[in-house]
Amino acid sequence: MGKTLVISGGTRGIGRAIVERFAREGVDVAFTYNSNRELAQKLAEELEERYSVHVRAYPLNILEPEGYKELFQKVDSDFGRVDFFISNAIISGRPVVGGFGPFMRLKPRGLNNIYTATVLAFVIGAQEAAKRMEKGGGGVIITMSSTGNLVYTPNYAGHGSSKAAVETMVKYAAHELGEKGIRVNAVSGGPIDTDALRAFPNYEEVKAATIARSPLRRMGTPEDLAGACWFLCSDDASWITGQTIVVDGGTSFS
């Protein structure tokens, strides 16, 4: 295909499913990882061998989004072009303390970290990608979102409010980048069956509730979101921009 995807957070869960889907479609892939270099390198080698595409892994701390500038310089050297950019990486653990919890327990540091990883990282990554896309005649930018800004989710106010903010940022970016041939959208997932969700103490409760609420009677999978991303990057979606595509098995209306 001769095109290149840059995606943050590509080693596990939704990110990994997206990386594999695009590689399978013949797209070269540059993905980031937080700390596990061995895992990232192994994945890159496996995908190169399996799909005969160019795959590279780069370290990136999503809480320091200015690092995108150096990252894209490396991508310039290794790939020479950027056609698709997907802002996917999230944070968990200590950085979200004070941001993941009931409203009355929210603290500035945790909230700021979530906003940085969700909104600021999208802005800086998209800016760097757009500079390359403009020179190449256009491209597609996507941010991953979640239905936690549409449906009440316990302890999710910090994340949900940042997802709402990034979806609004998508609309502004779409309006300003459209004349450059760049489309910008968001993919909003309902509860997706990932390792991150399985780590929740009430995982079985969430899973049962999701299956009961969905007309399709199943949990969402990372592949469901990967398929939506691939569609938005295809010519079939050439007149879709500034939108949030909800992939939630119908749960947000149940």
Q: Which residues are catalytic?
A: 156, 163
- Beta-carbon count within 10 A of 122 CB: 30
Nearest to 105 by CA among 156, 42, 55: 156
How far is Cα 9 from Cα 25, in angstroms, rounded to an integer?
A: 19
**In a 10 Å sphere around its CB, with 0-12 CB exposed, 13-18 middle and 19+ buried, how is residue 229 labelled?**
buried
d(CA 209, CA 216): 13
144: DSSP letter: E
Angle at which helix 157-177 crosses helix 108-115, to 10 degrees, equals 30
